[in-house]
Amino acid sequence: MIFFKISGFFFFYFVVTGVYVIFMPKILQMLGYSALHIGAIFALAPLMRFFVPFFFLKHFELTQKVFYIALGGALFAIVMFYPTIHHFYLFMLPNMLLGACLGMILPYIETYAMEHLQKERFGKSRLFGSIGFMLIGIILARHLEDYTNGLHYLLLAISLTAFFAYWLTHNNTHFMTSSVVKEEAFNFLHVKYLWISLFLMQVSFGGFYNFFTIYETAHGISLEVTSYLWAFGVICEIVLFYFQAPLLQRFSLLSLVKFGVFATASRWLLLFLFPSSLFVSYAAQSLHAFSFALHHTAALSLLYTLYAHKKLAAQFYYGFSFGLGGFVGALLAGYFYGEYLYLYTSFVALLSLGSLMLFKGKE
């Protein structure tokens, strides 16, 4: 039953992510937002994800009560999308709130999932998030004639995410006790090159998360086919999540993280070299299995071996990579959007790989 609850949470959480990442940029473009405005809007949520973990270093603990407040805040933020979406500056506010709340929700559950299921079974639960992401990409592509449909799906998905999160954590003894580790300070500097690499990796994803749909449709690929490209990437991700256990047992976590970054640099370069080729777009999307699924599990597992504060390590993982990296990536993608967007993102991914080369396991 615990496996079902965790999987249900992942499914609907990543339905929310799918609507937000795949369709919200297109919705904002339909409403007249410029590329720079879209980049700015989608930089806000990651920025909040970056700032939030710092409050938990000394001042707060990510307790069950704080977690429930975050769930309510995320629900309220999406409700506020409706009256504010036509106003750029007002729309910033619920996006900031949503980013702050999501920055607490996912690490809280994912840390428990990794500890309870272990890394070998974690992927089999996490793949349900990929399934949710894929399904919403296919379904909503056919029902986006009116932008409000996207908001309706977003509201329903966050409501079901909150339901599964509450069902999993309520009366669960694991979440009723403090799990803060106080014996040692949380130190970044002793693995600084790993943190730099995680940051640069998500900077490179800025062009993908925020402009892939716009980029593909601008090169003659329809919105529906683009949704299939998103879905295909997620299918490859699902396959690797399911079968990744032997890789995690056979190879070192650091080697797997490096391979994931190399696959990402190759992926962006393919999109730059062949922007109108549907075949190459599918080939590039197949690399999502390594650039997200494998990299994510290996990086999170590596951090868990380096830090006793596992929940805080997870928060900072999302804060530095998807947060600060996503913020910088979104802004730069909005600035560089055009013919050379994916050449730039490929170069940033190579910088991430270079930083990993400087990182030593016992640094």
pLDDT, tens only, 316-330: 898 889 888 988 888
Q: Does residue 363 lie within any of the structural domains?
A: no
Q: Does residue 192 lie within any of the structural domains?
A: yes
In this structure, how many other beta carbons lie within 10 angstroms of the beta carbon of residue 350? 19
Say if CB 282 and CB 225 are below 8 A apart.
no
Q: Does residue 100 lie within any of the structural domains?
A: yes
Give the rounded percent of residues in the chain with a pLDDT score beyond 70: 95
C-alpha dist (Å) from residue 142 to 136, 173, 221, 357: 10, 43, 15, 44
Rounded-to-integer distance, Cα 332 and Cα 271, Å: 17
Domain count, the chain: 1
Higher pLDDT, 174 or 30: 30
Q: Does residue 352 lie within any of the structural domains?
A: yes
Question: What are the tens digits of pLDDT across the range 251-301?
Answer: 999 999 999 999 999 999 999 999 899 999 999 999 999 998 899 989 988
pLDDT-derived band of residue 184, with 50, 70 and 90 as boundaries?
low
Q: Residue 51 is part of which domain span?
A: 2-358
pTM of the model: 0.79
Q: Does residue 254 lie within any of the structural domains?
A: yes
Closest alpha carbon to 109 in 244, 13, 253: 13
Rounded-to-integer distance, Cα 22 and Cα 134, Å: 10
CATH number for 326: 1.20.1250.20
Q: Does residue 275 lie within any of the structural domains?
A: yes
Amino acid at 66: V
Say if CB 117 and CB 200 are below 8 A apart.
no
Q: Does residue 282 lie within any of the structural domains?
A: yes
**pLDDT exceeds cutoff 50 at 183:** no
For residues 185-205, b (16+ Cβ closer than 10 Å) or e, as one string? eeeeeebeebbbbbbbbbbbb
pLDDT-derived band of residue 363, with 50, 70 and 90 as boundaries?
very low
Q: Does residue 43 lie within any of the structural domains?
A: yes
Rounded-to-integer distance, Cα 128 and Cα 11, Å: 5
